Amino acid sequence: MRPSILRRLLRRVASTAVLGVVAATLSTVGAAQPAAAAGGLQQVTGFGTNPGNLQMYEYAPADLPAGAPLVIALHGCTQTANDYYTNSGWPKYADLWKFAVVFPQTTSANNALSCFGWFDPAEDTRGKGEAASIVQMVEHAKQQYGSDGRRVYVTGLSAGGGMTADLLAAYPDVFAGGSVASGLPAQCATSQAAASGCQTGPQKLTPAQWGAKVRAGYPGYTGPWPRVAIWQGTSDYTVYPANAAALRDQWTDVWGIGQTPSSTDTLPGNTTRSVYNDASGKPAVETYSISGMGHGLPVSPGSGTDRCGSTAAYFLNSICSSYYTGVFWGLDQGAPGGENPLPAPSGLTVTGVTGTGASLSWSAVTGASSYAVYRNGTEVGRPTSTAFADTGLSAGTAYRYTVAAVDGSGAVGTVSAAVTATTTGGTGGGACYTATNYAQVAAGRAHTTGGYVYANGSEQNMGLYNVFVTHTLRESPAGYFVIADTGCTA
């Protein structure tokens, strides 16, 4: 028997301690079956040698121009490509912003629960197995649609999220960005036996040690690193929130930036976004922590631009992660056909705040007939001048603003760097608390996992759960804590 066949047979009878399901659901959720083409979802065969034995499905709007971006979307365990196509919201933005989406699919022939092999070096490393099959799909789609090879992105849920992180590490030359939802840091586990331990609490590694796992994925690589979004529910007991902290540590280290966010703000669905800017001030890593959400992909059914998806098993109603991920990657910035968009306005500044409003100004852009102003990623105004006053805000709350120039045809240009405006009043904004780790947990500002303490909201590792380690935590916005041992007076 060939080794590859033997390995797959062994994996079919191996332990079921893999991502995306818990024991209570195994009795009611069967292994996924191959998806049939549904609506605009089409299967593609003959896309390559396919060493990972995957199936390729794709969706593209009928009027897709050449030079458009390409998104790869990976389902979770027990799911199919059709599940992800139907519920994730990605087809809506493919139509709106004009890009193609590829939905790779694995089946029970590869894994008993149809999980991507994020824990198997024979499947998730450069040139091997499923990872190589997915890159072959990328190359096939680029040729088929004339996609822009500089704008290829990958996203995934659970096991698909773990594979996403591995793909970003193994192929930073292929993917410009990634989004990991309820997933694992790259190379967290290198065997199925170790997978369960990663889910409930990854190794307590330093950011440099986590980053080294990425750098080992493609030794000698010197090009730009992918920009990474990390989505995690605080009540996820299948893939614990500590994984989001490890992912943040991993990718901020790869980018050579610190683990203290450049800004934080509040989004719909009880979501806190933390932004980690690169040296040029552009977001390189963003984390989205959804308070109270369990294991799944955040969606928000509705007709608005920032609403998407449908609720189903592991598609949870809170916030449209596909929309905010697409904005983070710049898929909404217009000119997908290769035209030169208007440049980003410079000098975006907060000129004033009140308890219910914020005022902004920026420098004019030649050729602009108006400007699109975004609050927390959602357009809130389109003034013709270079100033805007936002109203109806909550007191003591941080809001993230960006602005883009709009030309006479309505094409939206490049989005500016973000600024944060914090309204006056409210409670808890900027307050500092110095106490032992034990006392911080007792006060509800931190929590424990595996004997370690993590700050609520930021998920920063504070060290061992005891009375011998002391930290100062800063609270901003309310309920979101970061380590601030210097420059913060309790």
Active site residue ranges? 158
- Lookup result for tokens 């060290």: 463
Contacts of 119 (CB under 8 A, 6+ apart): 18, 162, 188, 189, 190, 191, 192, 194, 195, 198
- Region class of 29: left (phi > 0), else alpha (psi between -120 and 50), else beta: beta
CA dist., res. 53 & res. 57, Å (int): 13
β-pairing verdict for 398-406 and 419-422: antiparallel
CA dist., res. 79 & res. 115, Å (int): 8
